[in-house]
Amino acid sequence: MKKPIFTGSGVALVTPFSEKGVNFEKIGELIEFHITHKTDALIICGTTGEKSTLSVPEHKDVLRFCAERVNGRIPIIAGTGGNDTNASVALSQYAEYVGYDGLLLVTPYYNKATQKGLCVHYGTIAENTKLPIILYNVPSRTGVAISLDTLKYLDEKYENINAIKEASGDVAFAAKIKAHTNLCVYSGNDDVTVPIMALGGQGVISVVANILPEETHNMCELVASGRLDEANKIYLGMLDVMDAMFFEVNPIPVKTAMNLLGFEVGGFRLPLCEMEEKNVARLEDALRNYGLLQ
């Protein structure tokens, strides 16, 4: 297995907004919150961070700000993927320049790609940065899945293609990746973190860790140390909150939950919009049942 960029709970950090744009003061507060509450790594400008509606200057500003604020205290991973290979190369090189520990590269969406195209896309980025790369397989959002043969090829050909964020929801596919490649495997869905880690996965890139960072860290730590019964107690207790994070498309529920809990992370960039009232009520029930709301 290749050396992991991190083990345990990596939070897919939200991007807070104000009426003026990105709320950098709030990002700083969130970074300190996560470091204090045992989050093992920060993933900046991923799907949960609304990367697709950040302008290029905003994206760079957020990457630079977070690198400077973290200052090497925990690993930081930059979401620099997209459906334009050259743009992804440029952002990846910028992330390397400002001091990131790794990259998260989603499969190209809308224009999609053949498996050959994925090989060339990822290979081009890998050849233009020294940073370790986490591939991001999330076919429900991008319309294209990375095949096992493609993963085997990329793993063997590129030393810095290091890992996969596996978000297809198919635990059997995660097992095949562990069996047939040297890639580290991170769960891309909170609700299969324990099963994937029990198969030898290195952790999770988590949405729910935005509101339950210490619990997510503890769960991962317990699995890694072989204490599955204790890990499952945390995992099963969190399951309804994990599910609530996807009552609507991510990151609408998690940002709504954070605002309900007093984090004041602001709203969304269109086409994302405010959560429907019936779903807010369901979300509040899940948070209340867990003990996060009165």
Q: In this predicted model, what pLDDT tens digit does every residue of 183-196 receive, in sequence order?
A: 999 999 999 999 99
Alpha helices in the chain (DSSP H): 24-36, 56-70, 85-98, 115-127, 139-142, 148-157, 171-180, 193-198, 213-224, 228-244, 252-260, 277-290
Residue 230: per-residue pLDDT: 98
Does the annotation count 20 as an active-site position?
no
**Encoding tokens for residue 84?**
């334009």
Q: Quick check: 40 and 7 in contact, CB under 8 A?
A: yes
Query: Over pLDDT 70: what percentage of the chain?
Result: 100
Helix-then-strand count for the chain, H and E: 12, 10
pLDDT band at 288 (very low <50, low <70, confident <90, very high): very high
**Encoding tokens for residue 141?**
């959002």
- Per annotation, catalytic residue among 60, 165, 178, 255: 165
Buried b or exposed e, range 115-129, using 16+ CB within 10 angstroms = eebbbebbbebbeeb
- Per annotation, catalytic residue among 94, 100, 136, 235: 136
Residue 71: per-residue pLDDT: 97
CA Rg, the chain, in Å? 18
- Measured over the CA atoms of residue 142, residue 147, residue 153 and residue 159, the dihedral's sign is positive
pLDDT band at 3 (very low <50, low <70, confident <90, very high): very high
C-alpha 188 chain-centroid distance:
7
Rounded-to-integer distance, Cα 156 and Cα 217, Å: 31
Measured in degrees and rounded to the nearest 5, phi and psi for residue 165 equal -90, 105
**pLDDT above 90 (res 294):** no
Rounded-to-integer distance, Cα 62 and Cα 139, Å: 26
HSE-up (13 A, CA, CB side) for residue 216: 32
Q: In this predicted model, what pLDDT tens digit does every residue of 23-38 receive, in sequence order?
A: 999 999 999 999 999 9
Buried b or exposed e, range 169-180, using 16+ CB within 10 angstroms = eebebbbebbee
Rounded-to-integer distance, Cα 46 and Cα 49, Å: 5
Q: In this predicted model, what pLDDT tens digit does every residue of 130-165 receive, in sequence order?
A: 999 999 999 999 999 999 999 999 999 999 999 999
In sequence order, what are the residues at sequence separation of 6 or more whose Cβ sits closer than 8 angstroms to the Cβ of residue 160? 126, 129, 130, 131, 132, 133
Q: In this predicted model, what pLDDT tens digit does every residue of 201-240 receive, in sequence order?
A: 999 999 999 999 999 999 999 999 999 999 999 999 999 9
Query: Over pLDDT 90: what percentage of the chain?
Result: 99
Does the annotation count 136 as an active-site position?
yes
pLDDT band at 170 (very low <50, low <70, confident <90, very high): very high
Amino acid at 249: V
